[in-house]
Structure 1
């Protein structure tokens, strides 16, 4: 099937008009993080099958793919066509063409959300306190509570001493029980700036009687101020009381109404599901535990605060329609309303499902990635213990296609690391006469990668049944030796706000970059952001 071409102006005009379009960067996340258009979404050639169906649920949506001369855009586009997508094009001139057209490029990841956070602070003057000011309040035993708006896993890694984990969408729902005294100052933090700003402004928008402030620059600012962080904290928000829930519901509904959020019934949702002209994302914004206990069929899990922080990891089609669900007994709720209020300001077509949803039924269990059928090709597999025997005899060489941080954390002894899109370079380094054996975390990606061998004319590999997880489950050891990692991998961008080993220069550079985003948005002019 022939690939057409779209110009940078075509994409930018669609963004301005609010038309549905998906712009996909086929490079690995590392180069993507260095420069990309505002609403471009990272879908590396290496992982197309793992990401496409969730990010792009409508097969006729206009999709445009680009790279920067690496030669991965066309193969990624072809792969999307093989998955059934019918309107796939290449970006004229790739990233260089975008720059030549005079359009803005951005660095880092989750840029629309981060830029929007800065846009909010710029327009609403969200109150904030420095790390030094917050530490002084803690030392003085002032009447303050510190609410950490990140995911619990991030909070447990490093937290402000005494802070409580209250992920962003939970803030308005829980704050009335956590800080019932209006004299208590509520401080919201994250790792950097975005979730602190959005969290604090959520409480301001909801009109709580307490004073509210964001911790300026989050745990990065705290670290740069030479303050100690807490590690392994487990404090979580309490159960919500009937009174606290009622206050949160009233406040959140008022905020959503101000943002112009629509409310739809199950009957309207049925109409949305049947509309083949629009991309539809159905998202449940509650906690992982609540989602697993019971959720509406067809709704994926996307905790509200993280959805606002990283919308591009869930929705790739700018202009798509999003429907949020919260309370399975009544559809709507505080978290859906607050999340929808922010998505609407981010320029999304968003609605909250409410009313009698009992007829929709319930499903249980954790969210599962939607995956296409594996290629219909002959596959030879090997069990962990049989693989061990092959390795001991020098008959096999393991190639690990997992992401590089997982490889660093532990891999089958002697395994070679490979980015799937550059698999040929690793195959060329294998000793003569050995059989390549593919593995990854759970074996999912290798089932798709085996088709690459047939396409390239390479000798057929073996697949480790169940991947590296099965190796571990069989009681076999892992190695952290990095001799076969190869050149520094570019499959992952190391975020300077995650982990505890970031340099001062990287952290300060990240903060400086965020502070420049407002000026860049003003130059850009294609974002459709608004602030209530």
Structure 2
């Protein structure tokens, strides 16, 4: 099936017609972040087999594929989507260049709808905030306060405010009430920049926490820009288990959810919605990933509530879809649902009995139909071949992970750029592909084998297995250089030069988003 070309004006009208619509951008995430449509979702060709099935649970929805107008990427993505059963396929003629030429707004950055929503929340609710100098003074004076970091633990370990405790996103309204000793204790919420600080602080306020609650203005970036030092490698985190006041936090969270149009249904009714072929319906488990792994509804996708609101474009591509949210006590689902309703106007349902009935454990691997079955090689065998000069390694993982630790001598590559890389690879030795996902490695190996005469194999278990076998890793923060990291949006502190300048530019960009959204006109936050 051939996808139909549509104009920018047609796509603009579709954004406003109330029907389901998914806009998928075929470029790599770094390219996408330079300039894209507000409601476009990154689905890079290099990850399409893994990402598209999760983004598109209903293949009959209306889909528009976009690129930057370079020619080819959107068409290739549409051709792939046709192979997995997508039928209502379209391509934006001329890509983002045509969109801009038509007078419509383009956005830089990543997770733009969520970040713009955070700025709207601050304006709409008047979320109070303090700057880094104020917080440092409060700490020096020994004020009665608690600092909670609303990011996932991996980000917290990378950098955190001294004295902070990690309580990610949707966990805040669930756990903080039991963590504060007195109603007069000030609660300071921070993230790396602004969005999760604002949404975290406002979550506690919307949930009726009686304590003074403030966001740390500009988060850890603001802290370091003010001349203070962040901690590295800390693991301070909330106590696991169900808080003693779970019933009370649910009652408060439910009032917030109900006020924003969230509906409550049983697990059986949720299955009926999932079986409805006329609507796109997602089922997300919003608990911590470790809780999800212990047992979840079969078919549910792990999407920790705070991250789901912070990065909706990582999970939901379809405008006007239905979203079903599950957790064990309801608080995290209720808070997540209330924010999702205000952000994107999706039809949101929270399950009342999510943990009753059959559960499955673990994190299911992505299923890729007709996945090639490549030749494989163990870490020990690869080490021997490398020592003999009989192998070359191509790492198709994330560029930032490659910087942090790669097999010595490995070359980094993106699947969609393998043709250029293959020209420089030796023909007299085995080419070994490593990637964090075995499906991604198998796909890259098959493509490389079609481009190069040398035998190609996949490293069993990837670079993680190599490291687990006690074999050496090499780190080089400058390889690949910043400009070559097309697969990811580089955060300011991922960059090698101009970090402070990038931090200031990022914070200014976040603050200005609310004005860009007004110009765009297609995100009536809070008024769907």
Normalising by the residue count of structure 2, what TM-score does the alignment of the two structures yield?
Answer: 0.93
Matches within 5 A, 1:46-65: 46-65=46-65
Q: Distance in 1 between matches of 2:449 and 2:426?
A: 21
2:520 paired residue number: 524
Using the TM superposition, give the Cα deviation of residue 240 of structure 1 relative to its aligned residue in structure 2, in angstroms.
Answer: 7.1
Using the TM superposition, give the Cα deviation of residue 468 of structure 1 relative to its aligned residue in structure 2, in angstroms.
Answer: 2.7
Task: Indicate the SS of the match to 1:16.
Answer: coil
Pick which of 502-511 and 406-415 moved more. 406-415
Residue 510 in structure 1 maps to residue 510 in structure 2: no
Runs of at least 5 residues in structure 1 that lack an aligned partner in the other structure: none
Q: Distance in 1 between matches of 2:511 and 2:263?
A: 32
Matches within 5 A, 1:223-302: 223-238=224-239, 244-302=245-303
Task: Indicate the SS of the match to 2:432.
Answer: strand
Matches within 5 A, 1:115-130: 115-130=116-131
Task: Indicate the SS of the match to 2:245.
Answer: helix
Q: Distance in 2 between matches of 1:356 and 1:174?
A: 20
Matches within 5 A, 1:56-455: 56-68=56-68, 69=70, 71-238=72-239, 244-327=245-328, 333-357=330-354, 360-365=357-362, 367-375=363-371, 379-453=374-448
Aligned residues of 2:404 and 2:476 also touching (Cα < 8 A)? no
Question: Judging changes above 3 Å, is the alpha-carbon distance between structure 1 residues 286 and 127 closer, same or farther for their aligned structure 2 residues?
Answer: same
Using the TM superposition, give the Cα deviation of residue 252 of structure 1 relative to its aligned residue in structure 2, in angstroms.
Answer: 0.5
**How many pairs were matched up?**
526
Using the TM superposition, give the Cα deviation of residue 359 of structure 1 relative to its aligned residue in structure 2, in angstroms.
Answer: 5.5
Question: Judging changes above 3 Å, is the alpha-carbon distance between structure 1 residues 48 and 261 closer, same or farther for their aligned structure 2 residues?
Answer: same
Using the TM superposition, give the Cα deviation of residue 90 of structure 1 relative to its aligned residue in structure 2, in angstroms.
Answer: 1.4
Using the TM superposition, give the Cα deviation of residue 176 of structure 1 relative to its aligned residue in structure 2, in angstroms.
Answer: 1.9
Using the TM superposition, give the Cα deviation of residue 393 of structure 1 relative to its aligned residue in structure 2, in angstroms.
Answer: 4.4
Aligned residues of 2:2 and 2:79 also touching (Cα < 8 A)? no
Pick which of 268-277 and 491-500 moved more. 491-500
Aligned residues of 1:453 and 1:459 also touching (Cα < 8 A)? no
Q: Distance in 2 between matches of 1:301 and 1:390?
A: 39
Using the TM superposition, give the Cα deviation of residue 230 of structure 1 relative to its aligned residue in structure 2, in angstroms.
Answer: 2.3
Aligned residues of 2:377 and 2:458 also touching (Cα < 8 A)? yes
Aligned residues of 1:149 and 1:166 also touching (Cα < 8 A)? yes
Aligned residues of 2:368 and 2:439 also touching (Cα < 8 A)? no
Aligned residues of 2:78 and 2:89 also touching (Cα < 8 A)? yes
Using the TM superposition, give the Cα deviation of residue 2 of structure 1 relative to its aligned residue in structure 2, in angstroms.
Answer: 1.5
Question: Judging changes above 3 Å, is the alpha-carbon distance between structure 1 residues 483 and 37 closer, same or farther for their aligned structure 2 residues?
Answer: closer
Task: Indicate the SS of the match to 2:16.
Answer: helix
2:3 paired residue number: 3
1:496 paired residue number: 492
Output the aligned Cα RMSD: 2.5
